[in-house]
């Protein structure tokens, strides 16, 4: 909160094309509390999320809009997944790099969020 952290790297359950982050709760599941993620993303210079691109059912976790309770709004700068690296930019997500063996078409097919550029 004091603005002393330059960058936070954390996991997520969902990220949307506006850079909103959901990583602390799944409705209906018992949770002990929200932990420190909200503090980490508030006032930090840069937020990088590391996560799987899809859930166990093959559905995208990079969404047009998060469906889970938000940890922070518009806080994510970069997402690193098993399929590639994407930056949050105006209008959606921009592909920075593809994982080895992954095509752009495969990454796009696994992404619900708008991909720009």
pLDDT tens-digit series, residues 26-75: 655 655 555 666 667 787 889 999 999 999 999 999 999 999 988 899 99
**pLDDT tops 60 at residue 92:** yes
Residue 104 in any domain: the answer is yes
| Structural domains counted in the chain | 1
Residue 54 in any domain: the answer is yes
Task: Identify the domain containing residue 24 by its residue range.
Answer: 7-116
**For residue 106, is it left (φ>0), alpha (ψ between -120 and 50) or beta?**
alpha
What SS3 class is residue 7? Answer: strand
Residue 99 in any domain: the answer is yes
Q: What percent of the chain has pLDDT over 70?
A: 85
Q: Tell me the whole-structure pTM to 2 decimals.
A: 0.89
């Amino acid at each position: 909160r004091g603005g002393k952290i330059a960058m936070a790297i954390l996991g997520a359950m969902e990220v949307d094309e506006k850079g909103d982050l959901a990583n602390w709760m799944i409705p209906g599941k018992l949770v002990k509390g929200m932990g420190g993620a909200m503090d980490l993303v508030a006032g930090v210079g840069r937020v990088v999320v590391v996560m799987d691109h899809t859930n166990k059912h093959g559905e995208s976790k990079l969404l047009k809009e998060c469906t889970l309770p938000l940890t922070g709004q518009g806080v994510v700068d970069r997402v690193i997944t098993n399929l590639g690296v994407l930056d949050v930019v105006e209008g959606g997500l921009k592909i920075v790099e593809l994982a080895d063996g992954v095509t752009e078409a495969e990454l796009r097919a696994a992404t619900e969020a708008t991909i720009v550029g």
